[in-house]
Structure 1
Amino acid sequence: MKKVFINYFILCLLVLTSNRIYSQDFQGKAYYMSKTTIDMANFGGGRMDEETKNRIAARMKSMLEKTFILTFNKSESIYKEEEKLKAPGTGGGGFRSMMAGNFVDGNQYKNIKDKTFLQEREVFGKKFLIKDSIPSFEWKMTGETKQIGQYTCFKAIGEKIKYGLDINTRRPRPEDESEEENTENEQETVEVIVWYTPQIPVSQGPTDYWGLPGLILEVSEGRTTILCSKIIMNPDEKDEIKIPSKGKEVSRAEFDEISKEKMEEMRQNFRRGGGRPGGGGGRR
C-alpha cells in the first residue's frame, strides 16, 4: 500500500512538472524498435535441421526487426517505418518472404480527440486505406515502475483484439477459419503489457496504442516487443502530421478479409510454382 502511494505521488509530481508540454505548438518525435520472434523450434513442422532454420531466421531478420518514428502532438500522431536500404542477401525466397514483399504496411494515423484511425496498406500493388475507430483499452495500473532512459515509466496491462494475419505463423487467425465455431461477435484477444511515462503527458503511443496519462515507451504483445530508443521534444523543424488519404477506403474487418483471400490464393499459386495472385479482379 505504501509503495502504491509513493508511486501515485511520483505520478502527480511528474505531471505537474510537465505542464510546459501543453504549449499550443508542441510536437515530439519518438523512435521505436519493433522486434517479432518466431517459434523456430516448430518451424517447418519440426522437421527442419538447425542450419536451415538459422539461415531462414537470418533472411527474415529485416522483416521482423524494424524501426519506426512516431510524430505526435496533443491530439494527433503519425507512425511510420524509418526508411533504410535493404541489406544484401536479406529476404531470400520462400512463402514468408513473398508475404513480406506483397503485403506492405503504410503510415498509421490516429486522432485521440475524435477517436479515428487511418492506415495505408498495399496488397499486391493495390492500395487500401483502412479507416476505423481507434481501439478502446481498459488499462489496469500495476503500481510498478522502471527507468527507460531518462524517463520514469509506469506499468499497465490491457487486452487488444487481434486483427489481420498472424505474423508468427503467416496464416489466417483462427476466427477467420471456417472450421472454427466462433460466433459473429466473438474476437480473439491478446494480453498487452506497456510502460508509459507521465513526464511526457500525452495519451499517445506506437501503432494504435493510446489511452494512458503519458507517452507509451514500451509494448509487449505476444511475440512482438516495441521499445522506444530516442525521443526529441519540440524539434527545431516540425513535421506536418499528414492524414493518410491514398487507397480504397475499407474497414479493418474488410481489409482482413481481402488479405486472407489474397494470401490463400498466393499460397495455392506458390504450391504450383507461381506465387502471385492474378490480377485482383472482381470486386477487389
Structure 2
Amino acid sequence: MKQLITLFLAFVTIGVFAQKNFQGKATYMSKTTLDMSSWGGRMNSMSEAQKKQIADRMKSMLEKTFILSFDKTASIYKEDEKLEAPGAGGGFRMGGLTDGGTKYKNTKELVALESKEFFGKNFLISDTMEMPQWELGSETKKIGNYICYKATLTKDVDATDWRNMRRRNRDDDKKKKDANKDTTETVKVTEDIEIPKKITVTAWYTPQIPVSNGPGEYWGLPGLILEINEGRTTILCTEIVLNPSEKLEIEKPTKGDKVTRKEYTDAITKKMEEFRNSRGRGRGGRGRF
C-alpha cells in the first residue's frame, strides 16, 4: 500500500511538472550554529547571560528564510525579508558577508549570476557553472511528503564565507596527540581566524520533483534538493507550492557592476583588510568602495 501511494504521488507530481508553463516555489529555513566557547579572548570572561544576549542578537544572521522560485530550467533564490523589531540584531548583519542578495541559475544555458551589495556598492557576480561532481547514495528519508535520496559533494570553500571561519590553534592540546590530529587544510584569514580549504556537503533530493535545482548555488541532481548540510549550516525545505496561482518572475538580475567570482572575492578581501586596519587605527568601521 505504501509503495502504491508513493507511486501515485510520483505520477501526480510528474503530471504537474509536464504542464507547459510549470513553475514552483520552495521555502527554505537556513540555520547556522556557532560554538561561542571556541572564540576565546573576551568571550571566555563573559557571563552566560552576556553570551546569551549576544547569541540572541545574532539570531537574525544565523537563522534565515529563503524562497526558491523555479521552473524547469531556471531559478531565483533570495532571502525572505522581514521587518526586525528594534534592537533585534541588525548590527550583526555583516554587510556583504551575509547570505543576502539574489542568486539566479539556469541549468540549461549554464548561467549563474548573483546580485549583491557590499559596503554601499552593488555587484553582479558571474560564476562558472560546471556540473557538480555529486556522489549518489542509496540512503533515503522522507522530508514532508517527499521521498529523498542522499548525495554528497566535496567543494572548495569561499574565503569570504564567515559561516566556516573558526579560531586558529583552538585544538593545540589535541593536535599534540596523533590520534586526535586535525589534518584539515586551512587558509589563514587573520592572526586568530582560519577557514578550511574544502568542505563536504550532504544533499537530500527528491525525484518526485524532477528539476535539477536547489537552494543557493546547489544543483545538478535528478530532482529538487530539499535539504543541504554544509559544515555548521543546515538548509531545510519547509514548504513547496507547485504551479502557484500567481505567476512567478524568474528573470536574470541586471543590477550592479559586472565581476567574476574571483574579482568579487579579491575586492571583498581587500576591503575587509582596509576595514581591519582602519579599526586598528581607531577610525571606525564605516566605509564605501
Distance 1:131 1:102, change over 3 A: closer
Aligned counterpart for 2:278 among listed residues 266, 269, 276: 269
For 1:221, the equivalent position in structure 2 comes to 230
CA deviation profile, 1:196-216 (whole Å, cap 9, x unmatched): 111111111000111111100
Residue 32 of structure 1, aligned match among 8, 14, 28: 28
Where 2:269 maps in the other structure, the secondary structure is helix
List gaps (5 residues or longer) in structure 2: 168-184
1:237 lines up with 2:246 in the alignment:
yes
Please, what TM-score do these two structures have when normalized by structure 1?
A: 0.82
Give unpaired runs (5+ residues) of structure 1. 1-6, 180-186
Greater mean deviation of Cα atoms: 11-20 or 113-122: 11-20
Number of residue pairs aligned between Structure 1 and Structure 2: 260
CA contact (8 A) 1:164 1:259 kept: no
- For 2:233 and 2:267, how far apart are their aligned partners in 1? 24
Q: Secondary structure at the match of 1:269?
A: helix
Query: How much does 1:162 deviate?
Result: 1.3
Higher mean C-alpha displacement, 79-88 vs 264-273:
264-273
What is the CA distance between 1:125 and its match in structure 2? Answer: 0.5
User: Is contact 1:134-1:208 (8 Å) kept?
Assistant: no
How far off its partner does 1:136 sit? 3.1
Q: Are the aligned partners of 1:103 and 1:122 in contact in 2 as well (CA < 8 Å)?
A: no
Q: Matched residues in 2 for 1:163 and 1:15: separation?
A: 37
Deviations 1:107-139 (A, max 9, x none): 100000121110011111010010122353211
Deviation at 1:177, TM superposition (A): 5.5
Given that residues 115 and 123 in structure 2 are in contact (C-alpha distance below 8 angstroms), is that contact kept between their aligned partners in structure 1?
yes
Conservation of the 8 A alpha-carbon contact between 2:213 and 2:219: yes
Q: Counterparts of 2:77 and 2:96 in 1: how far apart (Å)?
A: 20
TM-score, structure 2 as length reference: 0.81
Give 1:259's aligned amino acid. Answer: I
**Counterpart for residue 160 of structure 1:** 155
SS in 2 for 1:56: helix
What CA deviation, in whole Å up to 9, does each residue of 1:69-112 have, x standing for no partner?
0000010000011020012222265xxx2x62465621100000
Counting aligned pairs with the same residue, the percent is: 50
Aligned to 1:136: 131
Q: 1:83 is matched with which residue: 73, 81, 84?
A: 81
Match of 1:117 in 2: 112
Distance 1:77 1:92, change over 3 A: closer
